[in-house]
Amino acid sequence: MPRGRGQASGATSTTRAETIRQRLADDILRGVYPPGARLDESGLAKRFNLSRTPVREALRQLTSAGLVEVRPRRGVIVSLPTDSALAEMFEVMGELEASCVRLAAQRMSPAERVRLELVHRRSFEAVRNDDRDSYRTLNFEFHDTIYRGAHNEFLSRTTVGIRQRIAPFRRAQFAIPDRLAKSHAEHDAIVGAVLRGDAETASELMRTHVNIVRAASWNYVHGLVPTAPGLRPEADVDAPAARAAAWPTQV
């Protein structure tokens, strides 16, 4: 019996699936489960001390994120997306976020601008305390505030959908030392442009921000950069420098 309220409500089950999804995504990106490893539903249910339903849902979400795939007779297998597939996903993410912030700079209400500043200020506290978990949450809120500030329901829903698909890769960047402070500085420039109502600058800064996240995540996944203590991927990849050069590194 899992701890907690002990109720099997839909919302609780969704939360459990989300927790498992995040744990598994982190494990895959750290190399605990290398590409080709088989993820066994009942084994995972045992590991997390849960029923198979949230585990199945988590695996379904990981499938749409491209982290695992279902193979006939072999079950669920870890499969990292190819570099070009990941690059394409981040490119779309960058364009969508750039559109969101361009519209947000023009359309955000005064209350929404205050909220953006507030989230940004709180994230500075997380940087000062080197509190990665809080920063991840506040980063999520920061981008979410901009999506909603665009006042285009279809655009924000599309953007959230793509973000869910690449969430594990966005999260991976925060395992890199100094990434918190750099991310905050990038946000700072974006907030400045939004508050000035400078839509084009805000848009360009956001595109660059997402591109940097892409490079940081790629480097992390390929073990090319030292990571924060205790967060180094277990399956280190001795990637030759040529592979690094194939990807525009901006961090």
Contact footprint for Zn ion (CB under 5 A): 139
Minimum CB–partner distance for residue 93 and Zn ion (Å): 11
- Report the distance separating Cα 239 and Cα 236, nearest Å: 9
Residue 119: CB atoms within 10 A of its CB come to: 21
**Where would I find the beta strands (DSSP E) of the chain?**
38-39, 68-71, 75-78
Minimum CB–partner distance for residue 143 and Zn ion (Å): 6
Minimum CB–partner distance for residue 233 and Zn ion (Å): 22
Considering the complex, state which of residue 99 and residue 139 has its C-beta at the smaller distance from Zn ion.
139
- Report the distance separating Cα 178 and Cα 86, nearest Å: 23
Minimum CB–partner distance for residue 94 and Zn ion (Å): 11
Considering the complex, state which of residue 17 and residue 25 has its C-beta at the smaller distance from Zn ion.
25
The angle, 0 to 180 degrees and rounded to 10, between the axes of the packed helices 153-172 and 10-30 is 40
Rounding to the nearest 10 degrees, give the CA dihedral for residues 234, 28, 93, 91: 60
Considering the complex, state which of residue 63 and residue 134 has its C-beta at the smaller distance from Zn ion.
134
- Report the distance separating Cα 231 and Cα 212, nearest Å: 20
Minimum CB–partner distance for residue 100 and Zn ion (Å): 12
Considering the complex, state which of residue 30 and residue 187 has its C-beta at the smaller distance from Zn ion.
187
Considering the complex, state which of residue 139 and residue 156 has its C-beta at the smaller distance from Zn ion.
139
Residue with tokens 């591109």: 211
250: alpha, beta or left? (left if phi > 0; alpha if psi -120 to 50): alpha
Minimum CB–partner distance for residue 206 and Zn ion (Å): 9
Considering the complex, state which of residue 79 and residue 139 has its C-beta at the smaller distance from Zn ion.
139
Report the DSSP beta bridge partners of residue 68.
78
Q: Tell me, rounded to whole angstroms, the distance of Cα 218 from its chain centroid.
A: 12
